Structure 1
Amino acid sequence: MDLSAWHYFLSLERDFERTINFVELASANSIAYSQEYAKLLLLIGSEVDITAKVLCRDVNTSSNAATIVDYQQDICSAFPGMHTIEIAISRYQMAIQPWSSWGDVSPESPGWWKAYNKVKHHRDTDFPKANQGNVVSALCGLLALHLYLHRSTDHLQPYPKLLEYSFPETLVVGGSKALPGINPSA
């Protein structure tokens, strides 16, 4: 499998990690917004869109998924429990469930996805949504999609530097977690 999208994710993670030199990653700073966060949110959101479409086609070759609602239907049908995935940021004692809203009785778009679209289409009024909290959540969402997309890939490397998932045994020798919604014997 082509890993160019994985390397692009790692590049986005590095770009986000550099912002921490200026604004510490902390819940108190989650509403801090900037041009750099706007750029990252737009890049990450676009990559989520692309990666989700690829994952939908991977699990359903006849998929015509084109919206986040379509992605939710295809992905959660293939991986029940995917919405429970939690991405850790150990260095900052944080954990994020970027897709938790997909597990609601009436699933909806994640807040960070709504922010991405607001910034993309209404930056003049919604620029404050280009904030640290939305960017880190979007980045975690992108990592989660990659973990599912590459679920059969041996040794997905290099590993992210900031985000982690105690990588699953399917991706790392000695991995400690199974991805939610994946049958380990499959």
Structure 2
Amino acid sequence: MYLLHPKYATDPRHYVRAFLLIQQDVLELFSYVEPSDVNLSTYSHRIQQLLMRTCVEIEASFTAIFLDNGYAKATSGQNLNIGDYKLINLSHRVSAYQVRVPGWKGAAGIRQPFAAWGSDQPLLWYRAYNKSKHNRHENFHLATLDALIDAFCGLNILLSAQFMDEEYAPGSKSISLSGACYTYEGDDGMEPSIGDMLRIRFPTDWPVEERYEFTWPSLSSQDDPFENFDYAAHA
């Protein structure tokens, strides 16, 4: 229920809708390019455009998190960069999430797009986005299906880390499916994710000192029951 509180996030449906539109286009792309390991290096204008849109949405979600938590660099209108975005791994642990693309042929159907942040390494798919954006003629070949699927799964992870499987649509899951038990034939240990296309594995190894307990019925009566994460302290 706390996901639906108006102070939890600013217009979360705005970001979920953008993801769902991208998901539609990824599914359409799969009508022409088979989701398979053998096609990971495939690149095209359509793939490059989808990669651009997806990474722009990732940046928009990062910025929204910073704004809602009062990160001064964001609230003052300064340009954010990958060094700033990486701070969100401290609060959301996106490096520990896994996503599976159902129907993918090969081992690359299971993705952990932010895993490199766990060992302080760069995100290769994000580099591909930046390079093909700033010099498409020379770096067009970097905008591959491989980079796009990492970005697409990364956006799904980022939204899931904030909103779980809540899509903020009429008939909210937080209301109608609270406590539901999801199952999958040939259980893969994952859960259905936002958009119902991808499957996701949430982190289970949160450090004890970062865990918290709360009684939402008590907190919900407060004007603002949420505490900001101090990103500036870690910058």
Q: Same fold (TM over 0.5)?
A: yes
* Residue 82 (str. 1) matches residue 100 (str. 2): no
SS of equivalent to 2:28: helix
Residue 37 (1) aligns with residue 47 (2): yes
SS at match of 1:91: coil
Of residues 124-133 and 61-70 in structure 1, the stretch that sits farther from structure 2 once superposed is 61-70
Partner of 2:121: 108
Question: Larger deviation: 60-69 or 112-121?
Answer: 60-69
For the pair 1:16 / 2:31, whether they are aligned, the reply is: no
CA–CA distance in 2 between the matches of 1:4 and 1:164?
Answer: 22
Question: Distance between the aligned counterparts of 1:63 and 1:108, measured in 2?
Answer: 25
Higher mean alpha-carbon deviation, 91-100 vs 26-35, is at 91-100
The whole-number CA distance in structure 1 between the counterparts of 2:73 and 2:99 is: 28
Q: Which amino acid aligns with 2:53?
A: L
SS of residue in 2 equivalent to 1:64: helix
Aligned match of 2:200 in 159, 165, 181?
A: 165
> Post-superposition shift, 1:159?
3.6
1:107-146 equivalences under 5 Å are: 107-146=120-159
Letter in 1 for 2:82: I
The letter for the 2-side match of 1:108 is Q
| Deviation at residue 28 of structure 1 after TM alignment | 1.1
Relative to structure 1, the CA distance from residue 164 to residue 184 in structure 2 (aligned partners, 3 Å threshold; closer, same or farther) is farther
Give the number of the structure whose alpha-carbon radius of gyration is greater.
Answer: 2
Distance in 2 (CA, whole Å) between partners of 1:34 and 1:78 is: 35
Distance 1:179 1:127 in 2: 38
Q: CA deviation at 1:152?
A: 9.7
Which consecutive unaligned segments of at least 5 residues does structure 2 have? 1-8, 75-79, 167-171, 178-192, 215-235
Percent identity of paired positions between Structure 1 and Structure 2: 23
1:165–1:152 Cα change, 3 Å: closer
- The alignment of Structure 1 onto Structure 2 pairs a total of residues equal to 171
Distance across 2 between alignment mates of 1:179 and 1:102: 18
Question: What is aligned with 1:169?
Answer: none
Q: Which runs of 5+ in 1 are unaligned?
A: 167-176
Separation (CA, whole Å) in 1 of partners of 2:121 and 2:42: 25
Alpha-carbon distance in 1 for matches of 2:153, 2:165: 20
Aligned-partner Cα distance in 2 for 1:51–1:180: 24
1:62 paired residue number:
71
Deviations 1:45-87 (A, max 9, x none): 11111111112334x32342611111112x12223x4311101
Local SS of the residue matching 2:41: coil
